[in-house]
Amino acid sequence: MPGSASTVTGAVDRLENAGTLDPVVAAVRKVVRRALRPGRVRDALHGVWLGHPLHPPLTDIPIGTWTAAAVLDLLPRTNRVASTLIAAGCVGYVPTIAAGWADWSELHEQQQRVGLVHATAVATGFSCYVASLAARAGGNTMRGRVWSYLGLSFITVGGYLGGHLSYRQSAGVNHAENVAHDFPEGWQRLAPLDDLPDGELQRRTVSGVALLVVRRGNHVDVLADTCSHLGAPLSEGSFRAHAGQGCVVCPWHGSTFQLADGAVVRGPATAPMPRFETRLADGVVSVMLPGAG
């Protein structure tokens, strides 16, 4: 019903702007960042190796097993199988929540407010499932079922908020995806080579698309300027050499991309940056998306 939908979304919209949560958000964020320092472990939890966030696919394990257990609890003589599924979901929850906290710690404040409540709801659901296992182990199957259905209720609320984060607040999506669709085909004039300062990060616009331009002598690297993580202007970032390759570091959350091919060197970004081919003719630099000629 339109009225009920508007009531739910209105409540979540108010949650986005609930500044009273900010002291808790700041305290939790500090703990998470201290526990997950920049490096291989955090990048693995972000999903850099996977090419997109790791947290969403990991949620399939606890949600799937806990939902299956709820169905089995409606049938006779299924307590042992349902208990096994609940236990599997509890085990799968551990890496899922670790990946979730890693992503959450590098989001905007409105996203972090919703994410904090999302994590609280899911953690409460997890606690209910632990209580369900304890009751079942003690021989009280009925109490175990009550705890598991209560847990599923919290998981459902958490799942809704997770969907809101992804689809309404664009957490985890590729913010540079539209570049390949918006940029015209073929070679496009960028600028005279002499107009590009040597060794500096420059922002240029071609056909309404913002580009990051880095000139080093007669060589010019060009990437989309909108960071794939949360849309920061990479041209306001910094240049860094990594493993002999020139890289750009995002000014907002430190995502690092190779200039040569746009590959992710360090998260929280997981999607590579769109890279442009360049050519120099008569002192003028032109750019083109690979394969668009």
**End-to-end Cα spacing for the chain:** 49
Instruction: Supply 1's token pair.
Output: 């019903």
Q: Burial of 82 by CB count in 10 Å (0-12 exposed, 13-18 middle, 19+ buried)?
A: buried
For the chain, domain boundaries:
2-168, 179-288
| Token pair 């040597």: residue | 198
For position 291, what pLDDT does the model report?
77
For position 5, what pLDDT does the model report?
59
Could you tell me the strand order of the sheet in which 264-266 lies?
238-242, 245-249, 256-258, 264-266
For position 1, what pLDDT does the model report?
46
Instruction: Supply 94's token pair.
Output: 């551990």
Instruction: Supply 24's token pair.
Output: 């808790």
Report residues of the chain scoring pLDDT below 70: 1-5, 292-293
Query: Among 237, 198, 205, which Cα is nearest to 219's?
Result: 198
Query: Among 103, 91, 43, 37, which Cα is nearest to 66's?
Result: 91
For position 2, what pLDDT does the model report?
52
pTM of whole model > 0.85?
yes
Instruction: Supply 238's token pair.
Output: 């910094």
Helical H segments across 105-192, by residue range: 109-137, 141-163, 179-182
E-state strands within the chain: 188-192, 201-206, 209-216, 219-224, 238-242, 245-249, 256-258, 264-266, 275-281, 284-288
CATH says 179-288 is which class?
mainly beta
pLDDT in tens, 17-47: 999 999 999 999 999 999 999 999 999 999 9
DSSP state of 54: S
CB atoms within 10 A of CB 200: 12
**Using an 8 Å Cβ cutoff, are 206 and 183 in contact?**
yes
**Using an 8 Å Cβ cutoff, are 141 and 102 in contact?**
no
For position 292, what pLDDT does the model report?
62
